[in-house]
Amino acid sequence: MAEKKEKKIVAAATGEEISNKEAEKKSASKGTRTTKEAEPVGNATGLRVGAVLCWLAAFALEVIALLILNGKIAWTFLPLLYQLIIALVLDLAFVIVGAQLWKKANKISPASEKNPIKFWLWNNMGVIACVLAFVPFIVLLLNNKEVDKKTKTIATVVAIIALLIGGVASYDFNPVSIEQKDAAVATISGNVYWAPFGKVYHTSEDCQALNQSETLTYGTVEQAIAAGRTRLCAFCAKRDHIDGVVTDKPVEEIEDSEVQSVNDAA
């Protein structure tokens, strides 16, 4: 029988790599986790302030692009098209950075689902900011009759591409609500585990879905959600009979024979 390859586990708080046995010892020394929600990871308010500042910079660059377009600002050493492209690229950069900060803040301090409109707006602020940072420029550019056709065409295409890239990068494909987070915290105690490029968290480092992952991160449910792992692995939920927690796919779709127990995996 082939010897089982030991995984590396990285502590979320310190980045320290430890073995499975060391992780178990540390977990045991800390005792069982309480169901009380812990302090958020990071500072959501600071992240949101940073996001707003980035979006304000993006709007300022859009204004600069419009002033360049109307001849109010002119860098004579560069053609008009190059000036517009530079302003649009910088605009896109600030839009994306702001969106990432805002999404990170939403994982730390989520909105409530009780108000669907606010929940949608809160989780789509990045997309809204992206639209405001590019659509007015595109509309005014298309209506400008003084710019030559080549410049207008290329600048419009660049702005539309930037709008699409920024929109996709700003959209939160896995939003989490405070109700979902509270349910997970109340149901799952102790450490959870996740892979560097995974989308979910697991209740055991021996979950079959982690068989190909040599490096794992462990921490609390709050830390997992703050890291962007907003869903529980469906295999773990099925194996541990966990209900009321959002999973990556319906638990009902998983057959009992598909679930590998921790004892079998050990």
- In the three-class reduction of DSSP (H, G, I as helix; E, B as strand; rest coil), residue 16 is classed as coil
Q: What is the pLDDT of residue 86?
A: 94
Amino acid letter for position 69: L
Give, in order, the Cα–Cα distances in Å from 27 to each of 22, 32, 170, 188, 225. Answer: 8, 8, 36, 14, 19
Q: Which of 37-41, 68-72, 95-99, 114-118 has the highest mean pLDDT?
A: 95-99
Q: What is the pLDDT of residue 130?
A: 97
Give, in order, the Cα–Cα distances in Å from 2 to each of 133, 211, 255. Answer: 56, 14, 27
Quote the CA–CA distance of 10 and 82 in Å, as a whole number.
45
For residue 113, the 8-state DSSP code is: T
The residue ranges of every structural domain in the chain are 8-29+177-265, 44-170
Q: What is the pLDDT of residue 66?
A: 93
CB neighbour list of residue 242: distance below 8 Å, 6 or more residues apart: 187, 188, 203, 232, 236
Angle at 53 between CA 159 and CA 228, to 5 degrees: 85
Among the listed ranges 127-141, 147-161, 217-231, which one has the minimum average pLDDT value? 217-231
- Kindly report, residue by residue over 23-66, the tens digit of the pLDDT: 444 444 333 322 223 334 678 999 999 999 999 999 999 999 99
Contact 245, 189 (CB under 8 A): no
Give, in order, the Cα–Cα distances in Å from 6 to each of 20, 191, 197, 204. Answer: 7, 18, 19, 14
Q: What is the pLDDT of residue 73?
A: 78
| Torsion angle of C-alpha atoms 235, 238, 244, 246, degrees rounded to 10 | 20
- In the three-class reduction of DSSP (H, G, I as helix; E, B as strand; rest coil), residue 205 is classed as coil
Give residue 251's pLDDT band: very low, low, confident or very high (50, 70, 90). Answer: confident
Q: What is the pLDDT of residue 165?
A: 97
pLDDT tops 80 at residue 227: yes
Quote the CA–CA distance of 162 and 175 in Å, as a whole number.
23
- Kindly report, residue by residue over 155-189, the tens digit of the pLDDT: 999 999 999 999 999 999 889 999 999 898 888 88
Q: What is the pLDDT of residue 76?
A: 76
Q: What is the pLDDT of residue 129?
A: 97
Amino acid letter for position 221: V
Contact 204, 262 (CB under 8 A): yes
Give, in order, the Cα–Cα distances in Å from 10 to each of 15, 18, 43. Answer: 5, 6, 22
- Kindly report, residue by residue over 69-89, the tens digit of the pLDDT: 888 877 778 899 999 999 999
CB neighbour list of residue 217: distance below 8 Å, 6 or more residues apart: 9, 10, 11, 12, 193, 194, 195, 196, 227
Q: What is the pLDDT of residue 236?
A: 86
Among the listed ranges 14-18, 87-91, 176-180, 230-234, which one has the minimum average pLDDT value? 14-18
Work out the percent of the chain whose per-residue pLDDT is above 70.
Answer: 79
For residue 246, the 8-state DSSP code is: -
- Kindly report, residue by residue over 176-223, the tens digit of the pLDDT: 999 999 898 888 888 888 888 888 889 888 887 877 777 888 888 888
For residue 202, the 8-state DSSP code is: B
Q: What is the pLDDT of residue 31?
A: 38
Tokens of 137: 């420029």
pLDDT tops 80 at residue 137: yes
Q: What is the pLDDT of residue 145?
A: 87
